[in-house]
Amino acid sequence: MTGALTYSEVGATQGRDLPRGYRRLVARARIGTGPRVYAAAVRAVRSFEMQRAAGLTVHADGPEAAVGVTMTLGLGVGRLRIQAPCRVVWVLDEPGRYAYGYGTLPGHPESGEEGFEVSLVGDEVWLEIRAFSRPGRWYTRLARPAAQLVQDWATGRYRDALIRLATRA
């Protein structure tokens, strides 16, 4: 997977002010409590296991999120599978906070960035997803409301998958 990112605001999901001109999404969910749940949540996010457990296929050129790692996320089956190529553009790893963001590459149905942050606040473990996107292909422009529903659906699936993965550890 090669090519330049399909948007110019690279790294914007690190901050709280997402760029204008895109659909902006911020979703926050409590995952559980305690250092063990936090460590399991970080492992699941870092290794792309959260996306896999949410029902996506993930083909990455590295085992975990690192700046420059490229991946293709897949949704659907057979000829109806939508492929979404992207590249990790930033990673933050500090005590009590792990996050990364990936941006869209040519061929992705959307144009923009999605960031995932797991934090330990007191004893509570939180997931925050920040994204900005706009249609990147003719079919997502044509079916914009459906594309937005898919993004909302995936966000909920990420949350539910991470709760399962982090609390069963």
User: Distance between CA 122 and CA 119 in Å, rounded?
Assistant: 10
Comparing 62-66, 76-80, 90-94, 120-124, the range with the smallest average pLDDT is 76-80
Q: How confident is the model at residue 1 (pLDDT cuts 50, 70, 90)?
A: low
Site of tokens 């420059």: 68
* Segments of the chain assigned E as strands: 23-33, 57-60, 70-75, 82-94, 97-104, 110-121, 124-135
Q: Residue 2: what pLDDT?
A: 61
Q: Which option is the CATH number for 24-167: 3.30.530.20, 3.40.630.30, 3.40.50.720, 3.90.25.10? A: 3.30.530.20
Average pLDDT, the chain: 92
Q: Where are the domains of the chain?
A: 24-167
Percent of the chain with pLDDT strictly greater than 90? 74
Q: What would the pLDDT profile of 117-157 be if each residue is shown by its tens digit? A: 999 999 999 999 999 999 878 777 777 877 788 788 889 99
User: Distance between CA 60 and CA 42 in Å, rounded?
Assistant: 18
Q: Is the pLDDT of residue 90 over 80?
A: yes
Q: Residue 166: what pLDDT?
A: 96
Label residue 7 left, alpha or beta by phi (over 0 means left) and psi (-120 to 50 means alpha).
beta
Q: What would the pLDDT profile of 27-47 be if each residue is shown by its tens digit? A: 999 999 999 999 999 999 999
